[in-house]
Amino acid sequence: MKAEESFQALSARDICVLAVGVTGSGKSTFINHLVDEEVPVGHLLSSETQSPRAYEARPLCDRKVWFIDTPGLDDTSRNDIDVILAIVGVLNELYARGVRIFGVLYFHNISTARFTGSSMKTRDLLMRILGSSMSTALAVVTTFWDRLSNADDGAARAEQLMDDFFYGVLFGSSAHKLMFPFNPVDGATARNIATTLLDRCGATTLVIQSEMVDHKLSFEETSIYRYVRADLLKVQEEYKKTLQTLLAEAQSAIEEKDAEFLAIFREEQSRYEQRSKELEHALDRLTRGTGTTQLERHMEG
C-alpha cells in the first residue's frame, strides 16, 4: 500500500495521534510496538520515513486509534520543505474529512547536545504547524537514554529540556508537562505512553488546519509559510555575502597570479553557487505550495 493510501481508511469516528521530531529520533521504532504492520525503521544516517503514513494501532481504547508516522526534519529549512508540505497536506486533508488529531508525540533524542540552534528551528517549524494552544495534546518522548554515560545527567537534562525548550517556552510555566522516557525495546512502555496521552487529550484543531481549512487562508498566508520563507531568505542573504567576499578574494588572487589560491576560491565559489541554486528551488517549491490540490478537490467535491 502506498503511504497516501493508508489515510483512506481513517474515519471521523477514529482517533489520530501524530508522531513528529528530528530524523532518527525514534518515531517509527515507537510506532512499531503498537501496530501489527511492520513500520520501516532507519539503519542509515539518512531519513528512513519518506512520507507521512497512517498505521492502525492494536486496540488501545474503545475507538480505533491511528498513529501517523511522519518523515523527520533534518534541521535545514531547505531540505525540510518537502517534509513540511507533506505533513501540512495530510493534516488538512484529514481535517477537511472530519478526522481529528487527538494527540501529538514529539520525539527528542536526549543524548544530543542541548538546545542547539537547529533543534530549536525544528521545534519552531513544527509549532507553526501544530500551534501553541495544544499544550494538553502534546507529549514529549525522550529517546536514546542508553547513549548517555550517566542516567542522572539525563534526568537533569530532561527536566531542563521541558522547562527551557518545550513547555516553559511554548506554553508558559504553568502548563502541565507530559514527558516520557522511552527505551526502544520496551513495548509495554510504548503502550503506557499511548494510553496516558489518550486519557488526557481530546480532538484538537491544529493551527494549520484552522488557518487553511476553517479560515480558508492560502498557504502563503499561513504562519509556517512566513516562517520558512523568512528563514530561506536569511540564508540566501548570507550566501550572497559569502559569494561577494569570495569573488573579491579571487580577484586579488588573479592580480597576484596565485593559481593555487585561485583554484580554492573557485571551488568554494561553485559550492556556494550550487547551494544558492538549491535555495532558489526550495523557495520555488515553497511558493508553489502544499498538497492542497487534494484538499481543494475534497472541498469542491
Ligand X SMILES: Nc1nc2c(ncn2[C@@H]2O[C@H](COP(=O)(O)OP(=O)(O)OP(=O)(O)O)[C@@H](O)[C@H]2O)c(=O)[nH]1
Q: Can residue 26 be called a binding residue for ligand X (CB under 6 A)? A: yes
**Complex with ligand X: residue 41 or 262, whichever CB lies closer:** 41
Q: Can residue 184 be called a binding residue for ligand X (CB under 6 A)? A: yes
Q: Which of 6, 23, 290, 292 binds ligand X (CB under 6 A)?
A: 23
Close Cβ partners of 174 (under 8 Å, ≥ 6 residues apart): none
**Complex with ligand X: residue 152 or 260, whichever CB lies closer:** 152
Least separation in angstroms between CB 72 and ligand X: 2
Least separation in angstroms between CB 62 and ligand X: 28
**Complex with ligand X: residue 55 or 102, whichever CB lies closer:** 55
Least separation in angstroms between CB 145 and ligand X: 6
Q: Which does 26 bind (CB under 5 to 8 A by kind): ligand X, Mg ion, none?
A: ligand X
List the interface residues with Mg ion, window 1-40 (CB under 5 A): 27-28
Q: Give the count of residues interacting with Mg ion (CB under 5 A).
A: 4
Sign of CA pseudo-dihedral 243, 245, 248, 252: negative
Q: Can residue 143 be called a binding residue for ligand X (CB under 6 A)? A: yes
Q: Which of 10, 14, 71, 101 binds ligand X (CB under 6 A)?
A: 71
- Phi/psi of residue 286, each to 5°? -60, -45
Least separation in angstroms between CB 204 and ligand X: 22
Interface segment toward ligand X; rule CB under 6 A; list 16-24, 97-105, 170-178, 248-256:
16-24
Instruction: Please give the residue whose beta carbon sits closest to ligand X in the complex.
Output: 72
Per the structure block, which three cell numbers stand in for 288? Answer: 508553489
What DSSP line would sit under 177-203, residue for residue? P-EEE--TT-HHHHHHHHHHHHHH---
Q: How far is CA 38 from CA 16, 41, 70, 254, in A?
A: 18, 9, 15, 59
Q: Which does 266 bind (CB under 5 to 8 A by kind): ligand X, Mg ion, none?
A: none
- x/- letters, 38..57, toward Mg ion (CB under 5 A): ----------xx--------
| Listed residue (171, 176, 175, 178) closest to 196, CA to CA | 178
Q: Can residue 74 be called a binding residue for Mg ion (CB under 5 A)? A: no
C-beta atoms surrounding 129 within 10 Å = 22
Q: How far is CA 176 from CA 101, 195, 202, 233, in A?
A: 19, 17, 15, 36
DSSP three-state, residue 214: helix
Least separation in angstroms between CB 23 and ligand X: 4
Adjacency order of strands within the sheet including 15-21: 53-56, 65-69, 15-21, 100-109, 138-143, 179-181
**Complex with ligand X: residue 87 or 208, whichever CB lies closer:** 87
| Listed residue (123, 291, 133, 139) closest to 204, CA to CA | 133
Residue at grid coordinates 513547555: 167
Q: Give me the residues that bind Mg ion (CB under 5 A), please.
A: 27-28, 48-49
